[in-house]
């Protein structure tokens, strides 16, 4: 195999061995045994821990990611947002991943903060708590107060985390390339594409400027809503490694039970919070994508709600919103044909796609949920089952749609955490009716017509010159077609080696029959040597086939 592509620096090799060792111990390295990884052969001969094998595959994957550290925990959290790629069962298991990383010592925090502020802490802050109020894999949050008197939350990036992430991302990219090149069934999971997207996402998350911009965007868009509190960002003190924002006094939803003195209408808070998120999603198209109870706060005894942690946001283009609207409308109106069209238009279809089989599964899905009143439909059950159908048919949805689906599932889970009879579908229905209103529907048709006209104009403008160029190249005999053959070099090498072996056998036979001197016991010595070399070459080919378990 072209193992030369793997980074051979000592720091990478030791990490490779550690990763493969963990995978073997958790019984997750079967795929790696198919690849001739020279420095990992000894590890791959080990056996999995029987105690760990008692857990389900999904649990073992989660436990292995936790052991591998912050980058892999983040990778698992990202994969949890792609149930269309990995399946609902594994996606649900990976949502339980928590970083639980011990905080950096205050000396390191102070050093980073001072470097970013370009001055001493006491020049900017009147108070700065040494103990963090929260600690995660990328950074930790400290409470403070500015010299001007404002209470603030100070998020500081971990020391050395960028270097650790860079090394682990390089290894992940190598492993993804190996899987895609050598494990045929992995193509359904898009390893390289998934790792590339994760790499971009995590690299952006390391830059606190982006989180600050997310906060300011949402705050600006909902500046007139007095019932929601978005923290103010202090741009003057914010940098790539430091984020200073307004401290919000309140109680997070997951701690309401601990604050027994706080009497709030849980159902009202659930519905008010959900309606705010639906406005962000369906009206604005830019939204906070992680609405779990720890990121939503109750303020002023339940009169207001506040949002925290804007590292994960979602964006919906107008076209993606149309796809979502079509899917929701199809479920509500029990139109299975419309849902099939929406899914196939939105997703990327595999080469062996079977539309008849998809239509049959969608019909069963619509029959089941279409017989229920909207007030009885549980969003997380309906979306998870739809995603499971999509995953079964190897359809890959755009990341925007999958992020939205996961956000809606999390949002309904948060609502049900507050009140058992919470129903997100009932809150979506008025928005769906608004979408079907005459004015809105007419505007949507105008938008689609304009987009169709623009695409048609682009096609008319670019297609004729392209066709003319192809015809002219064909006429001149300069048309070139480039084809890529994966792993063809290995097969060709074996074929050439086999032909040479056969030639050596034939040549040696001719030398023996002609009794070419010198002779040994009446036999041609060159002929005997030729047979010995041919035998060794044949054994080499046989050994290669046995080791790879392949005949290519």
64 and 189 assigned to the same domain: yes
Whole-number pLDDT of residue 10: 52
Q: Domain for residue 449, yes or no?
A: no
The whole-number average pLDDT for the span 433-452 is: 58
Decide which of 248, 272, 296 is a domain's last residue: 272
The whole-number average pLDDT for the span 200-207 is: 87
Q: Tell me whether the omega of the peptide bond preceding residue 46 falls within 30 degrees of 0, making it cis.
A: no
* pLDDT-based confidence at residue 126 (cuts at 50, 70, 90): very high
The whole-number average pLDDT for the span 474-487 is: 66
262 and 311 assigned to the same domain: no
364 and 423 assigned to the same domain: yes
DSSP three-state, residue 184: helix
CB neighbours of residue 62 within 10 Å: 22
Residue with more model confidence, 35 or 520: 520
In tens, the pLDDT along 95-114 reads 887 666 788 899 999 999 99
In tens, the pLDDT along 158-186 reads 998 888 888 888 888 888 887 777 777 67
Would you give the DSSP letter of residue 281? I
Residue 15: pLDDT above 90? no
30 and 85 assigned to the same domain: yes
The whole-number average pLDDT for the span 27-32 is: 73
The whole-number average pLDDT for the span 433-444 is: 54
Whole-number pLDDT of residue 4: 47
How far is the C-alpha of 133 from the C-alpha of 153, rounded, in Å?
A: 9
How far is the C-alpha of 287 from the C-alpha of 278, rounded, in Å?
A: 9
**Ramachandran region, residue 100 (left: φ > 0; alpha: ψ -120 to 50; beta: rest):** left
Cα separations (Å) of 505 from 141, 470, 545? 74, 50, 20
Phi, psi at 504, each rounded to 5°: -65, -40
Residues 6+ away with beta carbon under 8 Å from 236: none
Whole-number pLDDT of residue 242: 95
Q: Domain for residue 184, yes or no?
A: yes
The whole-number average pLDDT for the span 321-331 is: 78
Enclosing H/E stretch for 433: helix 424-435
Whole-number pLDDT of residue 153: 95
Phi, psi at 287, each rounded to 5°: -145, 155
How far is the C-alpha of 480 from the C-alpha of 460, rounded, in Å?
A: 25
Residue 429 has, within 13 A of its CA and on its CB side, a CA count of: 14
Residue with more model confidence, 142 or 48: 142
315-324, 400-409, 424-433: which has the highest mean pLDDT?
400-409
How far is the C-alpha of 238 from the C-alpha of 250, rounded, in Å?
A: 23
328 and 339 assigned to the same domain: yes
Cα separations (Å) of 422 from 38, 48, 56, 313, 379? 55, 44, 31, 24, 10
How far is the C-alpha of 66 from the C-alpha of 48, rounded, in Å?
A: 17
How far is the C-alpha of 377 from the C-alpha of 445, rounded, in Å?
A: 29
Q: How far is CA 512 from the centre of its chain?
A: 65
Whole-number pLDDT of residue 439: 43
Q: And the tokens for 342?
A: 């929406």
| Under 8 Å between Cβ of 167 and 11 | yes
Query: What is the share, in percent, of the chain residues with pLDDT greater than 70?
Result: 83
174 and 34 assigned to the same domain: yes
The domain in which residue 54 lies consists of 3-99+164-200
> What does the radius of gyration of the chain's CA atoms come to, in whole angstroms?
30
398 and 255 assigned to the same domain: no
**CATH number of the domain bearing residue 155:** 3.30.200.20
Residue 59: pLDDT above 60? yes
Q: Domain for residue 403, yes or no?
A: yes
Q: And the tokens for 129?
A: 């708590």
Averaged pLDDT score across all residues of the chain: 80
Q: Is the pTM of this model over 0.85?
A: no
How far is the C-alpha of 263 from the C-alpha of 252, rounded, in Å?
A: 14
133 and 264 assigned to the same domain: yes
Q: CA 516, 520, 523 angle in degrees (round to 5)? A: 50
Report the domain count for the chain. Answer: 4
Whole-number pLDDT of residue 3: 47
User: Helix 399-418 crosses helix 424-435 at what angle (to 10 degrees)?
Assistant: 130
Cα separations (Å) of 349 from 128, 189, 328? 53, 13, 21
Long-range contacts of 138-143 (CB under 8 A, 24+ apart): 138/70, 138/74, 138/205, 138/206, 138/311, 139/208, 139/243, 140/103, 140/104, 140/109, 142/109, 143/247
Residue with more model confidence, 538 or 451: 538
**282: burial class by Cβ within 10 Å (0-12, 13-18, 19+)?**
buried
Enclosing H/E stretch for 507: helix 488-513
Lowest mean pLDDT, pick from 24-28, 152-156, 222-226, 541-545: 541-545
Q: And the tokens for 221?
A: 């868009």
Active-site annotation, residues: 290
238 and 263 assigned to the same domain: yes
Q: Domain for residue 450, yes or no?
A: no
Lowest mean pLDDT, pick from 145-149, 308-312, 451-455: 451-455
Residue 506: pLDDT above 90? no
Q: Domain for residue 455, yes or no?
A: no
In tens, the pLDDT along 364-378 reads 988 888 777 777 778
How far is the C-alpha of 329 from the C-alpha of 285, rounded, in Å?
A: 18
Task: Report how far apart the first and last C-alpha atoms of the chain are (Å, whole number).
Answer: 13
Q: Alpha-carbon torsion 50, 55, 58, 61, what sign?
A: negative
49-53, 124-128, 430-434: which has the highest mean pLDDT?
124-128
Dihedral Cα 503, 506, 511, 512, nearest 10 deg = 140
8 and 93 assigned to the same domain: yes
Residue 541: pLDDT above 80? no
Q: Domain for residue 474, yes or no?
A: no
Residue with more model confidence, 245 or 178: 245
**135: burial class by Cβ within 10 Å (0-12, 13-18, 19+)?**
middle
How far is the C-alpha of 13 from the C-alpha of 38, rounded, in Å?
A: 11
Whole-number pLDDT of residue 178: 78
């Amino acid at each position: 195999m072209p193992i030369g592509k793997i980074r051979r620096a000592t720091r990478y090799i030791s990490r490779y061995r550690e990763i493969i060792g963990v995978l073997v111990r958790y019984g997750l390295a079967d795929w790696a045994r198919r690849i001739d990884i020279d420095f990992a052969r000894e590890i791959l001969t080990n056996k999995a821990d029987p105690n760990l094998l008692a857990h389900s595959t999904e649990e073992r994957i989660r436990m292995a990611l936790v052991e591998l550290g912050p980058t892999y925990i983040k990778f698992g959290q990202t994969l949890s947002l792609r149930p269309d790629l990995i399946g609902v069962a594994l996606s649900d298991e990976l949502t339980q991943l928590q970083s639980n990383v011990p905080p950096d010592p205050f000396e390191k925090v102070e050093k980073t903060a001072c470097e970013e502020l370009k001055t001493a802490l006491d020049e900017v802050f009147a108070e700065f708590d040494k103990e963090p109020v929260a600690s995660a894999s990328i950074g930790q949050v400290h409470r403070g107060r500015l010299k001007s008197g404002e209470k603030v939350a100070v998020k500081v990036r971990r020391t050395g985390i960028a270097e650790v992430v860079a090394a682990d991302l390089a290894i992940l990219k190598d492993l993804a390339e190996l899987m895609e090149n050598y494990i045929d069934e992995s193509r359904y999971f898009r390893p390289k594409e998934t790792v590339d997207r994760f790499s971009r996402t995590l690299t952006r998350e390391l830059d606190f400027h982006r989180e600050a911009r997310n906060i300011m965007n949402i705050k600006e868009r909902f500046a007139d809503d007095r019932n929601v509190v978005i923290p103010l960002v202090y741009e003057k003190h914010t940098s790539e490694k430091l984020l200073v924002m307004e401290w919000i006094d309140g109680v997070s939803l997951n701690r309401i039970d601990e604050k027994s003195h706080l009497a709030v209408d849980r159902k009202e808070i659930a519905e008010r919070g959900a309606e705010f998120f639906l406005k962000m999603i369906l009206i604005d198209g830019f939204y906070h994508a992680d609405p779990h109870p720890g990121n939503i706060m109750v303020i002023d005894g339940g009169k207001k709600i506040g949002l925290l942690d804007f590292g994960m946001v979602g964006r919906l283009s107008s076209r993606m919103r149309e796809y979502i609207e079509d899917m929701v409308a199809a479920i509500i109106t029990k139109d299975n044909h419309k849902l099939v069209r929406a899914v196939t238009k939105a997703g990327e279809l595999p080469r062996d796609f079977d539309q008849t089989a998809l239509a049959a599964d969608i019909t069963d899905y619509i029959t089941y949920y279409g017989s229920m009143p909207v007030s009885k439909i549980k969003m997380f059950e309906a979306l998870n089952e739809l995603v499971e159908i999509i995953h079964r048919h190897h359809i890959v949805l755009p990341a925007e749609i999958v992020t939205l689906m996961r956000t809606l599932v999390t949002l309904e889970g948060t609502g049900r955490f507050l009140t058992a009879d919470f129903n997100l579908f009932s809150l979506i229905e008025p928005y769906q009716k608004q979408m079907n209103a005459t004015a809105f529907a007419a505007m949507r048709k105008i938008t689609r017509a304009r987009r169709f006209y623009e695409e048609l104009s682009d096609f008319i403008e670019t297609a004729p010159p392209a066709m003319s160029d192809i015809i002219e190249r064909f006429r001149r005999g300069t048309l070139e077609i480039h084809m890529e053959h994966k792993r063809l070099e290995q097969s060709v090498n074996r074929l050439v080696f086999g032909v040479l072996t056969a030639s050596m056998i034939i040549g040696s036979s001719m030398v023996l029959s002609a009794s070419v001197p010198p002779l040994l016991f009446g036999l041609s010595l060159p002929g005997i040597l030729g047979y010995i070399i041919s035998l060794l070459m044949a054994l080499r080919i046989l050994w290669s086939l046995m080791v790879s378990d392949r005949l290519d």
